[in-house]
């Protein structure tokens, strides 16, 4: 049987984040949001998978979780780049596949994951960002004996996400981000400081957002059912669904409560 494969190419990161009022993992609308690191017991751990559609606010909450629990945020893209740069055996295998225009198999990705989480900074746990993406990957992770403690789903309605992302406007020269509803410029379509025109990025256009959402629902959303079904058995990850609408503080409080 051929190895399970998924699309893993090292490429520039495309940001999918909420509007500027939600951008920073250390600030909120009302000023700095204090996150106190947890005191970890030697036998405790926090191994987390964070699920949610593009624009649901996973990046913001991931920042809070990693800070509070002192764990690294691990993405497959960063992991591949690091392994290739370090010249590890697995990294060289992945590089040869990618250089040939091929797709990195799930089996190789799982081995890279096991190599990564064996590093000292993962002693208290880790947070998987963007992995697993499919049920075969989740099953491979389980078969490989990689323990997961919590699966958190940040749930946001599609129309809310479209409104969050499609309303963004950007000043190209400075990178300043506005939102037509939540954080509008003083003059519509103009940067507050320079008066120059604001643009809507291709990734922020409604048709692009809806396409990304359709891919998420077709490919990644089934993971929710997979982990929900697992949660009923002893020794399996706890699954929690968090409504991702409300203030940053409210959502973060719900996430931390689910992880407690």
103 is an annotated ligand-binding site residue: yes
Instruction: Please indicate whether residue 168 is annotated as part of the active site.
Output: yes
62 is in an annotated binding site: no
**Considering 47, 164, 212, 254, which one is annotated as catalytic?**
212
Q: Is 55 annotated for ligand binding?
A: yes
According to the annotation, is 57 in a ligand binding site?
Answer: yes
Could you give the CA distance from residue 218 to residue 2 in angstroms, rounded to a whole number?
23
Q: Note if 133 is an active site residue.
A: yes
Is 168 marked as binding a ligand? Answer: yes
Distance CA 65, CA 256 (A): 8
Beta bridge partners of 105: 5
Q: Is 69 annotated as a binding residue?
A: no
195 appears as a binding residue in the annotation: no
User: Which residue of the set 17, 47, 116, 133 is catalytic?
Assistant: 133
In this structure, is the dihedral angle defined by the CA atoms of residues 91, 97, 102 and 105, taken in order, positive or negative? negative
Residue 212 annotated as catalytic: yes
In angstroms, rounded to a whole number, what is the distance separating the alpha carbons of residues 217 and 228?
Answer: 16
Catalytic-role residue among 40, 201, 221, 241 = 201
- Hey, which bits of the chain come out as E strands? 27-28, 31-32, 46-52, 73-75, 125-129, 150-155, 168-170, 177-179, 238-243
Is 116 among the annotated ligand-binding positions? no
Question: How far apart are the C-alpha atoms of 87 and 73, rounded to whole Å?
Answer: 21
Give binding residues as ranges: 55-60, 76, 81, 102-104, 130-133, 137, 168, 177-178, 201, 212, 246
Q: Which residues form the catalytic set?
A: 58, 133, 168, 201, 212
Give binding residues for AMP as ranges: 76, 81, 102-104, 130-133, 137, 201, 212
Give binding residues for ATP as ranges: 55-60, 168, 177-178, 246
């Amino acid at each position: 049987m051929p190895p399970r494969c998924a699309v893993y190419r090292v490429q520039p990161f495309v940001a999918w984040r909420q509007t500027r009022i939600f951008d920073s993992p250390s600030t909120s609308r009302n000023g700095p949001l204090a996150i106190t690191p947890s005191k970890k017991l030697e036998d405790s751990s926090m191994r987390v998978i964070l699920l949610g559609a593009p624009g649901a606010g996973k990046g913001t909450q991931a920042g809070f979780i990693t800070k509070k629990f002192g764990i690294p945020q691990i993405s497959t893209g960063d992991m591949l780049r690091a392994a290739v740069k370090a010249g590890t055996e697995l990294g060289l295998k992945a590089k040869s596949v990618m250089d040939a225009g091929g797709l990195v198999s799930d089996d190789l990705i799982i081995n890279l994951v096991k190599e990564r989480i064996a590093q000292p900074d993962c002693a208290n746990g880790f947070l998987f960002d963007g992995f697993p993406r499919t049920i075969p990957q989740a099953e491979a992770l389980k078969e490989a004996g990689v323990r997961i403690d919590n699966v958190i789903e940040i749930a946001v309605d599609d129309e809310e996400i479209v409104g969050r992302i499609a309303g963004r406007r950007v000043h190209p020269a400075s990178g300043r981000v506005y939102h037509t509803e939540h954080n509008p410029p003083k003059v519509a379509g103009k940067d507050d400081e320079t008066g120059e025109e604001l643009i809507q990025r291709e990734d922020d256009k409604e048709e692009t957002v809806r396409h990304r959402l359709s891919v998420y629902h077709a490919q990644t959303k089934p993971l929710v059912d997979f982990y929900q079904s697992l949660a009923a058995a002893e020794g399996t990850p706890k699954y929690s669904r968090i409504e991702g609408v409300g203030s940053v503080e409210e959502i973060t409080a719900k996430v931390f409560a689910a992880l407690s």
